[in-house]
Amino acid sequence: MKTKLKQYIKNIFKAFGVEIHKSGYSNSSPYALGYISAKETIDVSSKSGLSVGDYLETIWDQKDNRYIIIDELNKFGIFNINIKNICEIGTGAGLYAEKTAELCQPVRYESYEPDKDWAEWLTKKYNIISHDADGKSLSCTQTSSIDLVLAHGVFVYLPFLLTYRYFQEIVRVTNDEGYAVFDILSEECFDDNTLKSWVDSEQMFPCFLSEDYIIEFFTKHRFSLIGEFFNHKFNVGKSKYLIFKKESSLT
């Protein structure tokens, strides 16, 4: 049913003369998976009268899911007046950036998006600072300079050692009392029914991460897990969000 609905929606947008498809690998990083074309997506969403975010959630059958995720995160108090500097890894089409910026009103919003076309669009659309992304580090961000680090749908597909590198970078750039938020595919995300859905989908990108290992890693670096919840609309399954807060070095 979902497949038929997605195809029906795509057929509607074809009427505008543009067909959306997956792009190849990013021009700037061999590590990032291909993302949908920025130019085509922006064009067709404009012609359809939808925002880019609304259009993408429509074709992905995830209507309003970004707002559901933001609302869940907001319950843990991570969007507050003390969040002045934000860094997002793999910002993509900015689905979460708009609402995050609206809630926090940050002084500085840094982004590491490997796709150059999306990176340029993010800068123009949301006044985001788009750094050159190598797909494995936050090299342009100063140590202990970020109040909130975000990664939506990133560590669900990266190989473990790349994710580990990013974890090291998150530890480095996050301020004392700052937050780190990201989702993973943990043990709980692969029950028998969900595994069958993934196998039937013939998608091979999901990368398993041990939640216990991640908690242990961040705990060693003065982070405390303050919350977690599921994103029940992650592709054909679900992902799990983890919310960490970095303790002060003085405590």
What pLDDT digit, counting tens, does each position of 227-239 carry? 999 999 999 999 9
What pLDDT digit, counting tens, does each position of 99-111 carry? 999 999 999 999 9
Radius of gyration over every alpha carbon of the chain, rounded to an integer in angstroms: 18
Element housing 177 (H / E): strand 174-184
Question: If you search the block for the tokens 């560590």, which residue do you land on?
Answer: 155
Residue 34: the pLDDT is 56
Residue 81: the pLDDT is 85
What pLDDT digit, counting tens, does each position of 152-184 carry? 999 999 999 999 999 999 999 999 999 999 999
Q: What is the DSSP letter of 208?
A: B
Pairing status of strand 146-151 against strand 174-184: parallel
Q: What is the pTM of this model?
A: 0.86
* Confidence bin at 46 (pLDDT 50/70/90): confident
Whole-angstrom Cα distance, residue 35 to residue 69? 21
Residue 31: the pLDDT is 52
Q: Using DSSP, state whether 64 is helix, strand or coil.
A: coil
**CA–CA distances in Å: residue 79 to residues 60, 150, 160, 177:** 26, 12, 29, 13
Question: If you search the block for the tokens 């559901």, which residue do you land on?
Answer: 68
Ramachandran assignment for 209, one of left (phi > 0), alpha (psi -120 to 50 degrees), beta (any other)? beta
Q: What does the block give as tokens for 98?
A: 């708009």
Residue 140: the pLDDT is 98
Protein fold of 65-246:
Rossmann fold (3.40.50)
Whole-angstrom Cα distance, residue 175 to residue 155? 21
Residue 19: the pLDDT is 45
Stretch among 10-24, 189-203, 229-243 having the lowest mean pLDDT: 10-24
- The distance of Cα 29 from the centroid of its chain, to the nearest Å, equals 17
pLDDT for residue 1 is more than 50 = no
Structural domain spans, the chain = 2-59, 65-246
Element housing 110 (H / E): strand 108-112
Residue 29: the pLDDT is 52
The percentage of residues in the chain with a pLDDT greater than 70, rounded to a whole number, is 86
Average pLDDT, the chain: 87
What pLDDT digit, counting tens, does each position of 69-121 carry? 999 999 999 998 899 999 999 999 999 999 999 999 999 999 999 999 999 99
Whole-angstrom Cα distance, residue 229 to residue 240? 6
